[in-house]
Amino acid sequence: MTKYRFEDIAYNSTEKKKPVEEDKYTYIGLEHLDPQCLEVTRFGSEVAPIGEKLIMKKGDVLFGKRRAYQKKVAIAPFDGIFSAHGMVLRPKEKVIDPKFFPMFIASDYFLDSAIKISVGSLSPTINWGALKELEFELPDLNKQRELAELLWAAEETKHSYQNLIEKSETLLQAEFQKMLLEASYKEYWLEDLSSSWLKGQTFKKTEIVDEGENDCIHYGELFTTYGPIINTTISRTNSEVKCASKVGDILFPASDVTPNGLARCSTIELKNVLLGGDIIIMRPKSTDINTKYLSYAINAQKEQLLSRVTGSLVRHISAKSLKSVIVPIPAQNIQDQFVDFAEKLEISKKSITPALANVKSVIKSIINQNITKEVSHV
């Protein structure tokens, strides 16, 4: 193992350009990167981005230096432009193998060290001047090549599992559209389907404890952990329950740093769960509506939800705007049939999830066992 300063491991390409109209097709912003995912699946903008952007080449490693705690690292899939709130990194091949390089940048070893030198409170950012001084230990190039082969094989397996999950979600959407074509239904505003709209209680993530007395949901868990149906919780707290769930409540996250995080909802099948701040609670009023179906139906209206998101640095959605979302409501027996199909599909997804988690664990294990975790500052 040899210790290197980061500036000896990577080039930081700072070449920029002012975008022109055609650049809108090959623009990648931080909003297009998914945490802990090297693949870019979204890109482009409706108009040419404003302000100078970084020039990227296919194969460059894109690193989100702003809010680095989100751990956004990806490989550029084509030549284009990248957000100025990121870094375009290239390997110094005498020190680090090009195939190992993106795995190294995406590792907790690198990212946890980089996060520690972020500056600022609202939007903590990493400066190259501080990052380049960090020192990391790396194995020799032959060992790196061996590790890269193992890591990319594991990465391909991970993608296979992720694709299966994505296909099941596509199948669910297709079944929903098929239902609408075959069954009669009426369209309703959410305002007409609700008895009340509430906001969760003030609740900090630090109040979550392992042995807490009360079940709780932090708003961030709605877009990181839970799906359309919540029938068990993962968090507990000793905080007093002032805003408690009722069975059938529809929960929306009210803020996130990306619009997609807000284009979703969950129905909770549990009562007396503490619902944290930044959770919008819709309490349905009709017993003729299967609230599980209602959750799926709302989630199918992604474009409507996205159109109601406001803000730039931090995105928001409000109860007022959600009230005008339109959803199709068929007869209750049709609702029940769709929910039955969706729940069977969810069982299939859950059988894949542990395997996916295991592969992710293997990737981390390979990194952790083969490179030193202590990082020094020059």
Q: Output the pLDDT for position 370.
A: 76
Q: Output the pLDDT for position 284.
A: 94
Same domain, 63 and 30: yes
DSSP string, 317-334: --HHHHTT-EEEEE-HHH
Q: Which domain holds residue 79?
A: 2-138
Bridge partners of residue 194, in order along the sequence: 284
Question: How many domains would you assign to the chain?
Answer: 3
**Does residue 377 lie within any of the structural domains?**
no
Same domain, 98 and 222: no
Same domain, 174 and 262: no
From first to last of its 378 residues, the chain has per-residue pLDDT tens of 889 999 999 999 999 999 999 999 999 998 889 888 888 988 898 888 899 999 999 999 999 998 888 899 999 999 999 999 999 999 999 999 999 999 999 998 999 999 999 998 778 899 999 999 999 999 999 999 999 998 899 888 888 888 888 888 899 999 999 999 999 999 999 999 999 999 999 888 888 998 899 999 999 899 888 889 999 999 999 999 999 999 999 999 999 877 888 889 999 999 999 999 899 999 998 777 999 999 999 999 999 999 999 987 788 999 999 999 999 999 999 999 999 999 998 888 888 888 888 888 888 788 777 775 544 555
Same domain, 234 and 126: no
Count of CB atoms situated within 10 Å of the CB of 244: 15
Q: Output the pLDDT for position 373.
A: 52
**Does residue 148 lie within any of the structural domains?**
yes
**Does residue 378 lie within any of the structural domains?**
no
Bridge partners of residue 216, in order along the sequence: 235, 274
**Does residue 48 lie within any of the structural domains?**
yes
List the one residue out of 219, 198, 207 whose CA is nearest residue 261.
219
List the one residue out of 154, 144, 80, 87 whose CA is nearest residue 363.
154
Q: Domain ends where: 330, 345, 362?
A: 330
Q: Domain ends where: 138, 170, 193?
A: 138
How far apart are the two ends of the chain, measured CA to CA in Å? 18
The encoded tokens of residue 76 equal: 């550029």
Same domain, 189 and 312: yes
Q: Which helix (H) or strand (E) holds 250?
A: strand 250-253
Same domain, 12 and 128: yes
Same domain, 68 and 51: yes
Same domain, 290 and 306: yes
Same domain, 340 and 275: no
152: domain CATH number is 1.10.287
**Does residue 21 lie within any of the structural domains?**
yes
Count of CB atoms situated within 10 Å of the CB of 82: 29
Same domain, 242 and 280: yes
Query: How far is it, in rounded angstroms, from Cα 75 to Cα 128?
Result: 19
| Residues sharing a CB contact under 8 Å with residue 69, sequence separation 6 or more, in sequence order | 115, 118, 124
**What is the Cα gyration radius of the chain?**
23
Query: How far is it, in rounded angstroms, from Cα 72 to Cα 41?
Result: 13
Break the chain down into helix, strand, coil percent, rounded to 5. 40, 25, 35
129: domain CATH number is 3.90.220.20
Q: Output the pLDDT for position 348.
A: 84
**Does residue 356 lie within any of the structural domains?**
yes
Query: How far is it, in rounded angstroms, from Cα 6 to Cα 2?
Result: 12
**Does residue 360 lie within any of the structural domains?**
yes
Q: 247 to each of 145, 268, 279, how far by Cα in Å?
A: 53, 6, 16
List the one residue out of 32, 31, 51, 29 whose CA is nearest residue 41.
32
Same domain, 357 and 309: no
**pTM: predicted TM-score of the whole model, two decimal places:** 0.69
Q: Output the pLDDT for position 312.
A: 77
Same domain, 102 and 132: yes
Task: Write down the H helix ranges in the chain.
Answer: 6-9, 101-105, 108-116, 128-131, 141-182, 190-193, 221-224, 291-299, 302-306, 319-322, 332-370
**Does residue 296 lie within any of the structural domains?**
yes
Query: How far is it, in rounded angstroms, from Cα 297 to Cα 349?
Result: 19
Query: How far is it, in rounded angstroms, from Cα 62 to Cα 209?
Result: 35
Say which amino acid occupies 266. S
